[in-house]
Amino acid sequence: MTDTVAVLMAAYNAEKTLGESVASVLRSTYPFRLYIVDDCSRVPVTDVIGGYDYERIEIIRLPHNAGPAGARNAGLRRIIEDGNRLVAIMDADDICHPDRLVKQAAYLAAHSDVAAVGTWERAIDERSEFICNVAVPCDPAEIRDLLYIKMCVSHPTLMVRTDVFRKLGLYSEAYRAGEDYELVRRIAKYCDIANLPEYLLDYRISPGGMSLANRKRQLFDRLRVQIAYFNPLKWQAWLGVARTLALLIVPAKRAKPDTISPERAKALQTS
């Protein structure tokens, strides 16, 4: 019997993109149930997607804004409680390709030693127009070593066994700008993570780019994660810390004071 994949989507003020993202999940060729966590959005998710198939969608509205980690954790608790064995992560402005779920579920079924699998992705702009392809390493050993230096797994493409969350815990809310990196580092410490060499998700880059303040916060949390999982016997660990420190002390005049272009934002995400 085929298991249903739980798709976890946290949504905060995503009314402009949520409908397209939900519609893309509904085109999936694998049985699923979509869990949308409404992180106290100004326009309730139920008002945004009122005409969709609620038999396959569950909406969890939080009474106050919990942030990315808190919102995803609320959804994960429900997903685990419902007995789901696989959970696919997705953002509320991304586009899921129809065969994403079936290919990731098949990979995990064939590789019992792998705890989570991501995919390659296509970067798109606010009009859903193509910007560039983003390919990442696929071999678990290469991923584990490269994670000391940078994020080499696209978080919104991940499919994870829910047993991993039961054993290793949910998202850490101590890293508000790096909860995804910390989770992946934690999983990789104990389990294998792989990537499928196929473009199975469109990742949307906001038109305003990434603010300098947010970039600094992200780098600071990345450094905290690198220190928390530091292995002095790995040269990659030393390089990762040195690289992040260098990025943190780059003078602000080298970047635009308010925004970074979409292309640069995507490059920074995988830098």
Give the mean pLDDT per block of 10 residues along the chain (271 residues): 86 95 95 97 93 85 96 98 97 97 98 97 91 95 97 96 98 95 97 98 75 79 97 98 93 41 44 52
> For residue 16, which amino acid is it?
K
Give residue 209's region: left, alpha or beta (phi > 0; psi -120 to 50): left
pLDDT of residue 68: 95
Identify the structural domains of the chain with CATH numbers, from first to last.
Answer: 5-204 (3.90.550.10)
Strands 57-61 and 159-161: unpaired
Alpha carbons 147 and 144: distance in angstroms, whole number: 5
